[in-house]
Amino acid sequence: MEKIRADGYFKRRSIVKRMRITAIKTFMARFGKRPRGLIKVETDEGLYGWGEAYSTGPDLSVEPIADYIFEMIQGDDPRRIEYIMMKLHQQFRFPPGGAGLAVISAIDHALWDISGKAAGLPVYMLLGGHARDRIRVYRGIGGRDGIEAADQAHKLHEDWGFTAFKTSPYQRDPDADRWGRVCDAAATYFEQIRNNTPADWEIAFDPHAKIFEPIRALQLANALAPYDPYFYEEPLRPEHMPAWARLRSQMQVPLATGESLYTRFEFLDVISVQGADIIQPDICVCGGLLEMRKIAAIAEAHYVSIAPHNPMGPLATAVNVHFSAATPNFKILEYLLPTETEWNDWVDEPYLPKDGYLELRDRPGLGVEVNESAIADNEYIHWQRTCPIRPDGSTGYI
């Protein structure tokens, strides 16, 4: 056993050996009919880490951006995450945008994975330890009417214990029908869900940033309000913050946003104008786990909770589990079941819900190991978002 010096510190036998980044490898894993960029960072000590990039498009940009970044950080110690992230943002010089930040985010994940493995600790222990013992998750539902959506919710509850859900409010075409009818149909849909599910279940609504006029967003919120939505997610586009502040001041239900925002600076904009009750940054595009921690700290200081955007694979979910475990103002995590997709073989043991929660693990790093053989073919599937066409021939929001 090491002896304690007179000043109270252990006498160290050796300094921590420096580790160096030696390679960044990119894989295109199948995500249904779309690709997903996975990144592996390797070191001279044999340790490696994995991260997942969000598909902001074009997906083929992930590999060249990762190769470009490697030239910036080759030889750096992967545990110097703050330094590496600062270096990348400064060396890019101009804001890297969605495509650049998606790759930076995946590299950040991998660095945390390496750091946890090097320390022999789960990542959440490097973040100050877990503030909670398990992570509540919610799942998307839908149907031709509220009864069908409620049936889906009951099945998810029976199989996995979910008690929180999110759905689209649109039962009529918001780009073609009279807006009053769209709102009325949404209210009927919600009432049917409420009448066919337990009173303590949470139901959130996502208009998906399809509404241009803030007054229409307010009208839809008012139609849903009598049935107590868990939150009302991103009805507007994210560019004009005063519109969010005005909308929030008029609403009677919790307003959430953030999947289209990047970095702490953009989240500071919406938080400082009191434009949201709940923020929803995506750990695969906002800049990574380190950046999410900074965003969460700003939110906590303004009494804003955080419900991460996570329509992602099991690797992204693993990163979110560690963030959520160590974040005091965490609220709930969006979640897709890997057992319903080919993602199930991406990792050795995906985080699966029990009683509607994800349990923490004490495995070092992110707590999952990527099955490289399952993604080794790097098959690319072209995918792009397609906007709706309105009756007059103009384009609508996706």
The catalytic residues are: 208, 309
Distances (CA, A) of 172 to 145, 168, 222: 11, 11, 17
Residues 6+ apart with CB under 8 A from 87: 72, 73, 76
- Phi then psi for residue 127, to 5 deg, are -100, 10
Phi/psi zone of residue 330: left (φ > 0), alpha (ψ -120 to 50 degrees), beta? Answer: beta
Distance CA 309, CA 395 (A): 26
Q: Nearest to residue 215, comparing CAs of 183, 254, 259? A: 183
Is the CB of residue 328 less than 8 Å from the CB of residue 293?
Answer: no
Q: Kindly report each contact of residues 235-244 with a partner whose C-beta sits within 8 Å and lies 24 or more positions away, as own/partner.
A: 235/207, 235/209, 235/210, 235/211, 236/209, 236/211, 236/212, 237/209, 237/212, 237/397, 238/209, 238/266, 238/270, 241/269, 241/270, 241/273, 241/275, 242/273, 243/214, 244/270, 244/273, 244/275, 244/276
Distance CA 223, CA 215 (A): 12
Residues 6+ apart with CB under 8 A from 160: 139, 337, 352, 353, 354, 356
Distance CA 314, CA 348 (A): 10
- Phi then psi for residue 51, to 5 deg, are -145, 165
At 333, list the tokens.
Answer: 């995590």
Distance CA 31, CA 356 (A): 24
Q: Nearest to residue 324, comparing CAs of 368, 359, 370, 272? A: 359
Distance CA 2, CA 140 (A): 53
First to last CA, the chain: 62
